[in-house]
Amino acid sequence: MAYRNGTYIAFDGQGTTSPDESDIKYFNLLKAWKKSGQDFKFSDSHKKTYQVRDSSYRETLKRRLRERLNESKNFVLILSEDTRADREMLNYEIEVAIELKLPIVACYVNYEKIQAPTELASYWPSSLSKAIKNRTVKCIHIPFKKAPIFDAISQFTIHSDNTLSSLSYYSSDAYKKFGII
């Protein structure tokens, strides 16, 4: 069995390889925060298996994604106004994360704080929406900000006994502690 210490990061690539035209820019920002060494560390699950490209056969791609998810302790999902509900591979990643009982850290771009996750349902890929409705996912909804992301990936893992519901979020006090409000 794999040692599950990685953080899996998922986002909608919007069908392009251009970092300016997709949510990969937020993934790259996470990697820059990590590289800067500013108390932001995570083990990137994407570096644990062979690289895959969008041109890979679909089954090969799914197999590699599942391998990465199997080595992960949690799942960061970057959500923006450009995230589409029907993206096949993004929904597949979410479905496997839920099957593996990975806590999902839903990070919303361009928000300062999240305290009413259902108001952001239009951002949710269809598999996340279904799991939230059925209460079959453990998920914390946070803004795409360094302090809450670092806190969430440190706190909510398959190894911890923290209780999350499908619609968990941080309190106002937590945002004060993060220096956001």
Q: pLDDT band at residue 39, thresholds of 50, 70 and 90?
A: low
pLDDT in tens, 49-84: 445 555 558 888 899 889 989 989 999 999 999 999
Residue-level pLDDT at 48? 40
pLDDT in tens, 8-26: 999 998 877 777 878 989 9
Residue-level pLDDT at 45? 45
- Residue 168 tokens read as 């968990």
Decide: residue 78, CB within 10 A, 0-12 exposed, 13-18 middle, 19+ buried.
buried
Residue-level pLDDT at 49? 46
Decide: residue 75, CB within 10 A, 0-12 exposed, 13-18 middle, 19+ buried.
buried
Q: What is this structure's pTM?
A: 0.90
Q: pLDDT band at residue 46, thresholds of 50, 70 and 90?
A: very low
**Domain locations in the chain?**
6-13+28-178
First and final C-alpha spacing in the chain? 42
**For the domain bounded by 6-13+28-178, which CATH number is listed?**
3.40.50.11200
Residue-level pLDDT at 20? 80
Candidates 66, 84, 118, 119; CA nearest to 12 is 84
* DSSP structural state of residue 51: -
Say if residue 3's pLDDT is above 60.
Answer: yes
Mean pLDDT, residues 141-167 taken together = 93
pLDDT in tens, 109-147: 999 999 999 999 999 999 999 999 999 999 999 999 999
SS3 99: helix
- Which residues on adjacent β-strands are paired with residue 104? 75, 139
Q: What is the dihedral of CA 111, 115, 119, 121, to 10 degrees?
A: 80
